[in-house]
Structure 1
């Protein structure tokens, strides 16, 4: 990439990142201009100008091509977060000021836990894909099982997705802000971040799928070759959303090990695949600029729904406004010989409900 273009990127990032939450600065790569670039980083000095922790800068210098994977993974995580919460009071709101999620990340809520997990998973997914596609010089697809046969009669073959490298790189980069601090300076929030990052990585590993191809006369499947492939990221989002709904609240004073907040369950171990949070979620109903909450006023709701997108729940009991909009579309299209399609215009009235 031309040096002038990188100067523009660094300047934009510098303007938006002043005073941001230190532990989450790298997430801005998911919405910055680097996220849509396909050029490679040719000058390792540009790593210093990116919103990275000191240890992350070192990773960037050693693996400069991987920075584009990180931005792709972060962007993928942000999009998936917004999809999973699109009908709820908190809809994974992003902001153009400071960090991509504003001041919400300052508190260790369930929403913060999901953000860390889904972006961590996004980085692993993107790096693993890049390895298999041959876009990274330091890794390739996984050939370790190739040629081995199983008791079921099929053979490992092809080229499996190298999830081990993706997990290693994701852990090295994403965990850096919380592991670079001296152990004596650790606090429960750092432990929470590290735990939820790991939940995101394990989600990718757990959802890896065995894909097979049959070989034989007329597709008889006399020989079946299989390999391990990445799951669709939507599947990861669905999995982590379930983990969000069953997130465990942890005790606020822990420096070495996370413990459940409930005293009666204090000695019950916290599974490695369960999201954890410190604080109760705020009230997302009304706008609160200090907490980065836009509120639900003006949000579209579903009058006939009984789920999270219902007008009763989404509008928090404030009621809703109804507006009738006219909708026009082409309809009753027919092919006329020769040679064009003739359509009519159908007009319908659509009720739009928005929260007061």
Structure 2
């Protein structure tokens, strides 16, 4: 059993119900709760009705594809973990909020951080569901055999079992977008447009990063015949590319009725591309703790005094300065194998300077 199928078979009901009951706000991002908590409860079948807060369209998709419910959980969890990895050295480090609402008040505003969250979680669902299709864990899909046996003009032929990203994208679009589509139809809110666009950015990046893998056949590896198939990228690569899009994200006008428009009037004629992340509101100051905005601040965060990047003490500590303490690390070292059968090691001590923000 692979890792994805292992996760897709665990029981999340108790955790989800608890999160929903205690949540101070129940937004359209309810499905994101699926990825928050560690595995809990016993291994047993789950139903769509076990997940509170899903809209009607999500319930329909879930009921038509019951095995996919916890694969969505894995996709959301995968997105959250990658968000934390990409922002581990930033002032906002994608820390899960303590108020049972995943990212807390951060999602209330349409900031650049919100744009990244929607994109990475949408991509996470595509990645997890597509992998499950290829592994045969979902009854509604298999790997993509649509081009199997076709010959390419370069002399190789399609073979193997390509990852069925078309199904993964369809599922993500149908399930993840549902709450935003409903709200957009009723209110025509620019925030819903923003969320839908950023969801699509995550899916677009997944498609762009699909790679062609080939295997050679022939005498002594001569590669006289080459069989190729399409494969998913590593999710770390997806996170890296989305982080670059985050850094170049575009602020849009609050009154974007028919289509998204840049807020900067001098660039209104420049088209917003399908892989551009967009946001509405400026990001708040993440330097100091603010419970009302769900901001944890940077006090006590580890920093690097010799770095010039975002993890540097100058940037991460927001000009407040930092404390330095000497930390003693004790570890086993210079290990040797002694016949037979023993390993002997020495004990090494290392003194390291550690900086933390004031």
**TM-score, with normalisation over the residues of structure 2?**
0.93
| Alpha-carbon separation, structure 2, partners of 1:268 and 1:289 | 38
Aligned to 1:23: 28
1:24 Cα offset (Å): 1.2
Cα 1:38–1:307 change in 2 (3 A) is: farther
Aligned to 1:45: 49
Cα 1:178–1:34 change in 2 (3 A) is: farther
| Alpha-carbon separation, structure 2, partners of 1:35 and 1:209 | 35
1:334 Cα offset (Å): 2.1
Which residues of structure 2 form unaligned runs of 5+? 1-10
CA offsets per residue over residues 183-230 of structure 1, 9 Å max, x none? 351110000000000000001100000011111122111110000000
- What is the root-mean-square deviation of aligned Cα atoms in Å? 1.8
1:99 Cα offset (Å): 1.5
5 Å-filtered alignment, 1:266-345, equals: 266-345=268-347
| Alpha-carbon separation, structure 1, partners of 2:126 and 2:184 | 26
**TM-score, with normalisation over the residues of structure 1?**
0.93
Matched, 1:196 2:201: no
| Alpha-carbon separation, structure 2, partners of 1:146 and 1:102 | 46
Aligned to 1:11: 17
CA offsets per residue over residues 43-89 of structure 1, 9 Å max, x none? 4533xx43322321222122111111111000000000000000111
CA offsets per residue over residues 142-196 of structure 1, 9 Å max, x none? 0011011111100000110000000000000010011123635111000000000
Q: 264-273 or 207-216, which moves further after superposition?
A: 264-273
| Alpha-carbon separation, structure 2, partners of 1:35 and 1:221 | 49
Q: Contact 1:34–1:71 (CA<8 Å) still a contact in 2?
A: no
**In the comparison of the two structures, how many residue pairs are matched?**
348
| Alpha-carbon separation, structure 2, partners of 1:305 and 1:345 | 30
2:98 to 83, 96, 99: 96
Q: Contact 1:260–1:266 (CA<8 Å) still a contact in 2?
A: yes
| Alpha-carbon separation, structure 1, partners of 2:48 and 2:249 | 40
Secondary structure of the residue that 1:151 maps to in structure 2?
coil
| Alpha-carbon separation, structure 2, partners of 1:255 and 1:37 | 48
Q: 143-152 or 93-102, which moves further after superposition?
A: 93-102
1:319 Cα offset (Å): 0.4
Q: Contact 1:315–1:355 (CA<8 Å) still a contact in 2?
A: yes
| Alpha-carbon separation, structure 2, partners of 1:181 and 1:135 | 33
Cα 1:99–1:156 change in 2 (3 A) is: same
Cα 1:193–1:328 change in 2 (3 A) is: same
1:119 Cα offset (Å): 0.3
1:33 Cα offset (Å): 5.4
Aligned to 2:227: 225
Q: Contact 2:335–2:344 (CA<8 Å) still a contact in 1?
A: yes
CA offsets per residue over residues 115-147 of structure 1, 9 Å max, x none? 000000000000100100000000101001101
